[in-house]
Chains A and B, each alone.
Chain A
Amino acid sequence: MKTSDIKEIFKENFWGFFTVFILAIFGILNQWIVAETSSIFWKNLFWHLAGLIGLIFLAIFMDYRKIPFHLVWYFYWFLIFILFILLFFKKRWLNIGFISFQPSEFIKPTLILLISLIASKEPNPYLKLKTLAKLFLITFFPLILILPTDLDYAFIMFIMFASFLIFIGIPRRLTLSLIFLGLIIGLLLFPIFWKNLKPHQKGRIYGYLYPEKYAQTWGYQLNQSLIAIGSGGLWGHGFKRGWSTRLHYLPAKYTDLAFAVWAETWGFIGVSLFLVLYGYLLYFFIKISNTAKDWLGKYLSLGVALVLFWQALFNISGCAGLFPMTSIPLPFLSYGGSITISVYFLLSLVFNIALKRYFFK
């Protein structure tokens, strides 16, 4: 390999890496604002540093084409594992020693890999019905399993993978009729569904619809989030000076409302910067999807882009009151071991694809 080639590779992928690096710094900074120097900050710092090192290591030395073949077994073991958790713990979190472990987070990379693997075998622009049925089964079986414990996550994952499958190629007629059917079934089942919602889940809907009316109860989170974001103004309160964060008005400021902390501290300028960087990263992934040398690579990078996109969209618009608030963490800014590992793994997949573009055999 010539040095000019290496230069070329560096030039084409540098900004993608750099954006990840900056976003990781944002994440560390945000937890510094919230957690000062408590254990949460150090843990978060550890996950980000480990993630970055893992990202570089995996991006260079891994070969994404060789992972999926072993994955089917992993997937089945994983399903058994989740069933075990659901049956014996009935929790969405699993505590193993000092790490709390969120199985839902690990379903995402698994499913992306599986879907991409199966779909990449298909030579046609639209998936065959047989393949489609297989993919549906693989995707929605685990989602139905996590539904009782993690309703909103299951719902968002459904949107993530449904959109992924549509982009991979469900025939247009089938897509439309499925959406139509889904709507009708949804409307018919809504009353039953609503009756069976837990009070806190209903409360989230109420809080979303009337944040000021339920300011002390269901709308408390959203109301405080809106105050935090709005009071940030154009330039923000400045580092560690936001009232909502410092005076403990923001609940879940480490995780779900991490973006409200960001918006309060750095204002509209900081929000714009984050959105631009995050958007650039997604754009970068789609560019890789366009230029990847095989279909597995193309599908994988689009899948990662879509997962990260929906995840950010639901979290941020939940903070800003556009969607009902969900307990979806925001990549980079939210604290959490599982999410950070999962996100860095997804990133390393894409960067691996990006690098493998040049070493394709």
Chain B
Amino acid sequence: MKRFKEDGFLIREFFKTQQKILKGIFWEKRLFWAKFLIGFSFVVLWLRFFYLQVVKYPYYFKKAKERSVVNYVIKAPRGEIVTSDGVVVATNRAVFQLYLDPELIKNKEDEVLYKLSKILGEDFGSLKERYYLAKKTFLGRVLIKRNLNWDEVAKIMVRRYYLPGVKIEVESERFYPYGEAYFHLLGYISKITLEEYKILKEKGYSMEDYIGRMGIERAFEERLKGKNGVIEIERDAYGRLGKEINRILPVPGEDLVITVNHNLQMKAYELLKDKKGAIVALSPKDGSILAMVSSPSIDPQKFIDGFTQEEWERVNSSPEKPFLNRALQAYPPGSTYKIITAIAALKSGIVSSINNTVFCPGYFRMGSRIFRCWEAKGHGSVNFIKAIAYSCDVYFYTLASKLDVDYLAEVSKEWGLGKTTGLGWSEEKEGLIPNRAWKEKTFKEPWYQGETVVMGIGQGYLLVTPLQMARVYMAIANGGYLYKPYVVKRIRTLDGKIIEIDPQIEKKLTLDQQHWNWIKEGLLEVVKIGTGRAAFIPGLNVAGKTGTAQVVSLAFKKIKALEHHAWFVSYAGYSDPEIVSAILVEHGGHGGSAAAPLARELYKSFFGIKEPEKIISETKEETLSDENQ
């Protein structure tokens, strides 16, 4: 028994020991798996953090910055524009803007707004409405009123302890001291649209930015714009603004010096006031623009101060289209084009001598058709000089009838018509010089010689801009140098450097010396004895050509709106011509009576000539009988 017991005890002891050993071995194994589980999980975590913090770092950093930093744009002041005689015509002025910080006036908005409405003398209800409307669109501070006057500023500053959250900030704003007179030349600026913003975002534009819309403001946008600055301010999860973390100062735009003569520009606008039309004055020496005016006009300041609803409707839907820069719009040239016909005839040898005469009975017959001269009585026998002076239609019908239309078109294009002048403004029109190919393409009809005859006196399909016409006469005045017109002559960059812009010659036109002389003599005679006598100034050599462009047929002549366009393109100077001008008065009537007197006033202003009033009235009466065709 005892042995068994002892055996049993031994066996149990043996099993116990075996189990103990096994348990120890198993435990070590299990601990290995525990280590494996922990190690594996930690490596996965570590890799996840590597992915988040190293691989995706730029993505999350951008998100964090977008969320926690607010950017305030500090607008860069636009560059100034100064005329050649030193008058600043586009600048910036400091204005006081009234801001409210919604965070600081929480729960007492009504109280603060009520006090403000008392100070500003505004209706409390409308102010409140404006505030809540603006609060939705602005981030952070809300613009309550712009352009405060000194009185309002003083009143608010005195009470600023009773007006929490009210801030007055000085900002720079575009200012056009001469308003309407420079509208089409300088252009205007207005708020950037959403579509433009999407495209221009990369160039550093902000949603609040203004962008040049016309004229110099648009053409030189990149120079004038400058570079916006930015203030980066922290914003917490509740929308409260914290400390400033970064500030980049704005870089102002570059200043431009333009070739325009301020007095001449103002005079030109004064002359066109209450009329529709355009005046362009160029310097024949280099093609620089001395004045460019279009009427009716708009005050560009309104685009910054804001139009009232009524004003905006009047401007936007007016049949007079004040937005158009008429100096760059295309019109039928009328008789001013005859000079091109004359040049083409001279070049092709149709007029070989100055004494070649044509008899003008008052009409020109071609086959069965009759073309009338504006002078129903006829001019009698006219030579080249006289034909220009009196603008004899029959003479030019005769020349044109001997010319080929393609050749005439070629000469026109050579003299810069039918294409843009190289000014580089997108609002500039090309005009239209018809030829056989054009007619075939447009009307699917052949060209008739009768149309060449009509084209010879500047009627028909022809369309030219006042600037193109001024350029033709500029080339005559300076002996064939066809300059590209330009308006900005100097750019003052930020580092103080000055970039001079040199005049550019498109081409040098050639004619026989005697042909130049004949044309110049003809143009002088126009003002001395011919149709442009209204532009005569004693002691000054004024030479030019009138034009009366037919808009509709003669039957409707009496209706004012459908009167002819009056042209006068001329140049003037004592010995050498110093100024060329093209004047167009839309529906003004005759060139000699509606446009030429304006040229006379313009030149008097340019050359500083003072004349007694009497002589003017005399000349006016003389010009009443005028061309008409």
| Residues of A in contact with B (beta carbons under 8 Å apart) | 123-125, 163, 167, 169, 226-234, 243-244, 246-249, 263, 267-268, 271-272, 275, 278-279, 282-283, 286, 289-290, 295, 298, 302, 305-306, 309, 313, 316-317, 320-322
Q: Complex: how many Å from CA A59 to CA B35?
A: 24
Instruction: Determine chain A's interface SS by DSSP, over half rule.
Output: helix
Contact between A228 and B64, CB atoms less than 8 A apart: yes
Contact between A268 and B236, CB atoms less than 8 A apart: no
Contact between B235 and A263, CB atoms less than 8 A apart: no
Q: How far is the CB of A285 from chain B (nearest CB, A)?
A: 9
- State whether A320 and B19 are in contact (beta carbons under 8 Å apart), knowing that A230-B59, A243-B68 are contacts in the complex: no
Selected contact of A125 from candidates B19, B35, B39, B69, CB within 8 Å: B19
Q: How far is the CB of B18 from chain A (nearest CB, A)?
A: 10
User: Is B380's CB within 8 Å of the partner chain A?
Assistant: no
Q: How far is the CB of A237 from chain B (nearest CB, A)?
A: 9
Contact between A231 and B64, CB atoms less than 8 A apart: yes
Q: How far is the CB of A216 from chain B (nearest CB, A)?
A: 12
User: Is B150's CB within 8 Å of the partner chain A?
Assistant: no
Selected contact of A275 from candidates B33, B46, B68, CB within 8 Å: B46
Give 3 closest A-B pairs by Cβ, nearest first: A230-B60, A231-B64, A247-B236
Contact between B53 and A268, CB atoms less than 8 A apart: yes
Selected contact of A320 from candidates B26, B45, B67, CB within 8 Å: B45
Contact between B34 and A305, CB atoms less than 8 A apart: yes
With a cutoff of 8 Å between Cβ atoms, the chain A residues found around residue B50 in the complex are 268
Contact between B23 and A313, CB atoms less than 8 A apart: no
Q: Complex: how many Å from CA A268 to CA B42?
A: 14
Contact between B61 and A247, CB atoms less than 8 A apart: no
User: Is B41's CB within 8 Å of the partner chain A?
Assistant: yes
Contact between A249 and B236, CB atoms less than 8 A apart: yes
Q: How far is the CB of A284 from chain B (nearest CB, A)?
A: 11
Contact between A322 and B48, CB atoms less than 8 A apart: yes
Selected contact of B38 from candidates A232, A271, A305, A317, CB within 8 Å: A305
Q: How far is the CB of B231 from chain A (nearest CB, A)?
A: 17
Q: Can you sample 28 A-B contacts with CB below 8 Å?
A: A123-B23, A167-B34, A169-B30, A226-B52, A226-B60, A229-B52, A230-B61, A230-B63, A230-B64, A231-B57, A231-B61, A232-B53, A243-B64, A243-B67, A243-B234, A247-B237, A249-B236, A271-B53, A275-B42, A275-B49, A282-B38, A289-B27, A290-B28, A298-B27, A309-B37, A322-B44, A322-B45, A322-B48
Q: How far is the CB of A118 from chain B (nearest CB, A)?
A: 15
User: Is B238's CB within 8 Å of the partner chain A?
Assistant: yes
| Residues of B in contact with A (beta carbons under 8 Å apart) | 16, 19-20, 22-23, 25-28, 30-31, 33-35, 37-39, 41-42, 44-46, 48-50, 52-54, 56-57, 59-61, 63-65, 67-69, 234-238, 242
Q: How far is the CB of B97 from chain A (nearest CB, A)?
A: 28
Q: Complex: how many Å from CA A320 to CA B41?
A: 13
Q: How far is the CB of A244 from chain B (nearest CB, A)?
A: 7
Q: Complex: how many Å from CA A278 to CA B45?
A: 12
- State whether A289 and B31 are in contact (beta carbons under 8 Å apart), knowing that A230-B57, A231-B64, A234-B54 are contacts in the complex: yes
Selected contact of B54 from candidates A233, A275, A313, A322, CB within 8 Å: A233
Q: How far is the CB of A154 from chain B (nearest CB, A)?
A: 21
With a cutoff of 8 Å between Cβ atoms, the chain A residues found around residue B23 in the complex are 123-125, 295
Q: Which residue of A lies closest to B56 (CB)?
A: A230
Q: Complex: how many Å from CA A278 to CA B19?
A: 34
- State whether A249 and B237 are in contact (beta carbons under 8 Å apart), knowing that A233-B54, A233-B61 are contacts in the complex: yes
Contact between A268 and B20, CB atoms less than 8 A apart: no
Q: Complex: how many Å from CA A124 to CA B61?
A: 56
Q: Complex: how many Å from CA A234 to CA B35?
A: 28
Q: Complex: how many Å from CA A246 to CA B69?
A: 12
Q: Complex: how many Å from CA A247 to CA B344?
A: 80
With a cutoff of 8 Å between Cβ atoms, the chain B residues found around residue A229 in the complex are 49, 52-53, 60
Between B16, B28, B31, B38, the greatest number of chain A beta carbons within 10 A of the residue's beta carbon is seen for: B38
Contact between A283 and B35, CB atoms less than 8 A apart: yes
Contact between A244 and B68, CB atoms less than 8 A apart: yes
Contact between A227 and B63, CB atoms less than 8 A apart: yes
Q: Complex: how many Å from CA A63 to CA B420?
A: 102
Q: How far is the CB of A222 from chain B (nearest CB, A)?
A: 12
With a cutoff of 8 Å between Cβ atoms, the chain B residues found around residue A163 in the complex are 37
With a cutoff of 8 Å between Cβ atoms, the chain B residues found around residue A230 in the complex are 52-53, 56-57, 59-61, 63-64
Contact between B48 and A320, CB atoms less than 8 A apart: yes
Between B27, B52, B59, the greatest number of chain A beta carbons within 10 A of the residue's beta carbon is seen for: B52
Instruction: Determine chain B's interface SS by DSSP, over half rule.
Output: helix
With a cutoff of 8 Å between Cβ atoms, the chain B residues found around residue A306 in the complex are 34
Q: How far is the CB of A322 from chain B (nearest CB, A)?
A: 6
Q: Complex: how many Å from CA A226 to CA B56?
A: 10
- State whether A268 and B54 are in contact (beta carbons under 8 Å apart), knowing that A229-B49, A231-B60, A247-B68 are contacts in the complex: yes
Contact between A169 and B26, CB atoms less than 8 A apart: yes
With a cutoff of 8 Å between Cβ atoms, the chain B residues found around residue A267 in the complex are 53
With a cutoff of 8 Å between Cβ atoms, the chain B residues found around residue A246 in the complex are 234, 236
Q: Complex: how many Å from CA A144 to CA B512?
A: 114
Q: How far is the CB of B304 from chain A (nearest CB, A)?
A: 37
Q: How far is the CB of B104 from chain A (nearest CB, A)?
A: 18
Contact between A167 and B236, CB atoms less than 8 A apart: no
With a cutoff of 8 Å between Cβ atoms, the chain A residues found around residue B59 in the complex are 230
Q: Complex: how many Å from CA A249 to CA B60?
A: 14
With a cutoff of 8 Å between Cβ atoms, the chain A residues found around residue B44 in the complex are 322
Contact between A248 and B31, CB atoms less than 8 A apart: no
Contact between A272 and B46, CB atoms less than 8 A apart: yes
- State whether A286 and B53 are in contact (beta carbons under 8 Å apart), knowing that A272-B46, A279-B42, A317-B48 are contacts in the complex: no
With a cutoff of 8 Å between Cβ atoms, the chain B residues found around residue A302 in the complex are 31, 34
Q: How far is the CB of B33 from chain A (nearest CB, A)?
A: 8
Between A124, A247, A289, A316, the greatest number of chain B beta carbons within 10 A of the residue's beta carbon is seen for: A247
With a cutoff of 8 Å between Cβ atoms, the chain A residues found around residue B67 in the complex are 227, 243, 249
Kindly list 9 other residue pairs between chains A and B, CB separation below 8 angstroms, not including A167-B34, A230-B57, A271-B53. A123-B19, A249-B67, A268-B49, A286-B38, A289-B27, A309-B37, A309-B38, A316-B45, A317-B48
Q: Complex: how many Å from CA A61 to CA B63?
A: 53
Q: How far is the CB of B35 from chain A (nearest CB, A)?
A: 6
- State whether A248 and B45 are in contact (beta carbons under 8 Å apart), knowing that A123-B20, A226-B60 are contacts in the complex: no
Q: Complex: how many Å from CA A270 to CA B69?
A: 25
With a cutoff of 8 Å between Cβ atoms, the chain B residues found around residue A167 in the complex are 30, 33-34
Q: Complex: how many Å from CA A123 to CA B17?
A: 9
Q: Which residue of B lies closest to A313 (CB)?
A: B41
Contact between A317 and B31, CB atoms less than 8 A apart: no
Contact between A248 and B53, CB atoms less than 8 A apart: no
Q: Complex: how many Å from CA A121 to CA B391?
A: 131
Q: How far is the CB of A16 from chain B (nearest CB, A)?
A: 15
Q: Complex: how many Å from CA A233 to CA B234?
A: 19
Q: How far is the CB of A166 from chain B (nearest CB, A)?
A: 9
- State whether A227 and B19 are in contact (beta carbons under 8 Å apart), knowing that A249-B68, A317-B45 are contacts in the complex: no
Between A230, A263, A282, A298, the greatest number of chain B beta carbons within 10 A of the residue's beta carbon is seen for: A230
Contact between A286 and B45, CB atoms less than 8 A apart: no
Contact between B41 and A124, CB atoms less than 8 A apart: no
Selected contact of B35 from candidates A243, A286, A298, CB within 8 Å: A286
Q: Complex: how many Å from CA A123 to CA B19?
A: 7
Contact between A233 and B57, CB atoms less than 8 A apart: yes
With a cutoff of 8 Å between Cβ atoms, the chain A residues found around residue B16 in the complex are 123
With a cutoff of 8 Å between Cβ atoms, the chain B residues found around residue A263 in the complex are 49, 53
With a cutoff of 8 Å between Cβ atoms, the chain A residues found around residue B61 in the complex are 230-231, 233
With a cutoff of 8 Å between Cβ atoms, the chain A residues found around residue B45 in the complex are 275, 313, 316-317, 320, 322
Q: Complex: how many Å from CA A229 to CA B48?
A: 11
With a cutoff of 8 Å between Cβ atoms, the chain A residues found around residue B30 in the complex are 167, 169
Q: How far is the CB of B11 from chain A (nearest CB, A)?
A: 15
Selected contact of B39 from candidates A279, A320, A321, CB within 8 Å: A279
- State whether A271 and B57 are in contact (beta carbons under 8 Å apart), knowing that A125-B22, A249-B236, A279-B38 are contacts in the complex: no
With a cutoff of 8 Å between Cβ atoms, the chain A residues found around residue B39 in the complex are 279
With a cutoff of 8 Å between Cβ atoms, the chain B residues found around residue A228 in the complex are 64
Q: Complex: how many Å from CA A127 to CA B559?
A: 117
With a cutoff of 8 Å between Cβ atoms, the chain B residues found around residue A295 in the complex are 23
Q: Which residue of B lies closest to A243 (CB)?
A: B68
Q: How far is the CB of A79 from chain B (nearest CB, A)?
A: 29
